[in-house]
Amino acid sequence: MILESKVQEFVQQAEDQTGMSFPIKYVYAFGDSPSMKDKLIELVINGDKRATASLVEEYTQDDLDVPVMGDLSVVLDGKGTPRVIVRTTEAEWVPFDDVSASFAHDEGEGDRSLSDWREGHQRYFGREADRRKIAFTGESLILCERFEVIYQAK
């Protein structure tokens, strides 16, 4: 993966500060607006958000590899500034209606309940489905990905 210069600088800073190597596979932000991206990255930084969910079509239509355990990603804020490096600890496909309460809690959004998660993600995935010109239902496959923060800018 070819990394943008500010992401390269961030990764180099992480490697210099930790003495570790960070082979980055993905660079992304959570959410679909700058304000949502800022809110969600703050949940990651403060420790509340340790999971994320994606529609299967985000991978199939965009021809992306599905994250697997051990993959490293740089997560950006709403301005595109690198803020953290995360490592995928778990990734599984689950129908939307079968997402668990523990996963909803680990996503760290809203009141962290499954009902709040479903309500917010129906809206979010509905927008994403409309954008991709696909149907979104309770049977739509969701990638439920858990992660750990392994580097955060000082």
**Spatial separation of the C-alpha atoms in residues 54 and 81, rounded to whole Å:** 21
- Tens of pLDDT, residue by residue over 43-75, are 999 999 999 999 999 999 999 999 999 999 999
Q: Is the dihedral angle over the CA atoms 88, 92, 96, 97 positive or is it negative?
A: negative
Decide if pLDDT at 153 tops 90: no
Q: What is the pLDDT of residue 107?
A: 97
Decide if pLDDT at 4 tops 90: no
Instruction: Look up the pTM and report it.
Output: 0.93
| Residue at token pair 């570790």 | 20
Q: What is the pLDDT of residue 154?
A: 73
HSE (CB half, 13 Å, CA atoms) of 77? 13
Of residues 3, 31, 22, the one with CA closest to residue 70: 22
> Which residues make Cβ contacts (< 8 Å) with residue 75, sequence separation at least 6?
28, 29, 30, 41, 44, 82, 83, 84, 85, 86
Q: What is the largest CA-CA distance in the chain?
A: 46
Q: Which domain CATH number covers 61?
A: 3.10.400.10
How many independent structural domains does the chain possess?
Answer: 1
- Tens of pLDDT, residue by residue over 105-124, are 999 999 999 999 999 999 99
SS3 64: coil
Question: Average pLDDT of 78-95?
Answer: 97
Note down the domain range covering 76: 5-152
SS3 15: helix
